[in-house]
């Protein structure tokens, strides 16, 4: 999608600090980190949210999960981490290209607010 920020990152039109990449998934650093390690994992193909992705291609959704938890910065974090898919306006989603937040490096609180 031409007017999608994360599609522009996938296309290389907007720079990003990439930490992992496959032919179908990209993991990069959040520009405004909410934890010492704050990564975003996205499918390169455009889907609006995790519901649309998992409905359209459950295998890709599974591979996205597998990729994000295999990122060394996260998988090496034996003390724990948090995976978040903000979904829709009330869910706090501001970029309408499905992305998993991977947060690590500090104590997470619950409920998240």
Q: Which residues bind Zn ion (CB under 5 A)?
A: 1, 4, 6-7, 46, 97
DSSP state of 19: E
Q: Is 31 in the site for ligand 5GP (CB under 6 A)?
A: yes
* Residue 99 burial (10 A CB sphere; 0-12, 13-18, 19+): buried
* Residue 9 burial (10 A CB sphere; 0-12, 13-18, 19+): buried
Pairing of strands 25-29, 37-43: antiparallel
Residue 92, binding choice from ligand 5GP, Zn ion, none, Cβ under 5 to 8 Å by partner class? ligand 5GP
SS3 82: strand
Write down the least CB distance from residue 101 to Zn ion, Å: 16
Q: What binding mask, one character per residue, do residues 75-94 give for ligand 5GP by CB under 6 A, x or -? A: -----------x-----xxx
Q: Is 28 in the site for ligand 5GP (CB under 6 A)?
A: yes
Binding site for ligand 5GP (CB under 6 A): 5, 14, 16, 28-32, 86, 92-95
């Amino acid at each position: 999608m031409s007017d999608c920020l994360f599609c522009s990152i996938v296309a290389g039109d907007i720079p990003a600090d990439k930490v992992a990449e496959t032919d179908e998934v990209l993991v990069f650093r959040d520009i405004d980190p909410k934890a010492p390690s704050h990564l975003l994992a996205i499918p390169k193909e455009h889907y609006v949210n995790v519901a649309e992705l998992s409905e359209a291609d459950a295998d890709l959704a599974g591979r996205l999960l597998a990729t994000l938890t295999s990122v060394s910065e996260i998988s090496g974090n034996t003390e724990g981490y948090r995976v978040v898919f903000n979904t829709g306006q009330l869910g706090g989603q501001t970029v309408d290209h499905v992305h998993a937040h991977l947060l690590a490096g500090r104590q997470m609180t619950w409920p998240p607010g």
